[in-house]
Amino acid sequence: MQVPVQISFRDMPVSDAVEAACWAEAEKLDRFYERITACRIVVAEASRDGPGGNTFQVRIELAVPDGDIIVNREPPAHHHDDVRIAVREAFARARRRLDDHVRRHRANGRTQLP
């Protein structure tokens, strides 16, 4: 990546373990597609109430040629009371979206991505 990964926490304390998981997942994406120019991750505690306990929102913004890929995993549509699972699933979705981006460019006859 041309710009270092940015990780921020909202409405929750900073967690070294979650930050390390975000870095590891971002590095996997960078190895998959080295043309990512920037990656911004926001991990937020969305709710402290309710029978399920805390819920977490993970937003990933990837800057790539020809646009941005934004993944926003938030409850209640996809409830997780374990922040590590929320991070892992958000990055899995980002990987699928990135894969779709690469396929679309190849399908349009571009042998080399811009």
| Pairwise CA distance, residues 24 & 34, whole Å | 15
- Least confident window among 39-43, 81-85, 96-100: 81-85
Strand 6-10, strand 38-47: pairing: parallel
Range 26-35 average pLDDT: 92
Could you tell me what percent of the chain has a pLDDT over 90? 53
Superfamily of domain 6-107: Ribosome hibernation promotion factor-like (3.30.160.100)
In the chain, where the domains are located? 6-107
Averaged confidence pLDDT in the chain = 84
Q: What type of residue is 39? A: C
Q: What are phi and psi of 113, to 5 degrees?
A: -70, 145
Question: Any residues with CB less than 8 A from the CB of 87 and at least 6 apart, and which?
Answer: 18, 21, 22, 25, 43, 58
Contacts of range 50-54, beta carbons closer than 8 Å, 24 or more positions apart: 52/79, 52/81, 53/81, 54/81, 54/83
For the cut 60, the answer to whether the pLDDT of residue 77 exceeds it is no
Strand partners, 40: 6, 61
* 25 neighbors 59 (Cβ within 8 angstroms): no
Task: Quote the pLDDT of residue 47.
Answer: 67
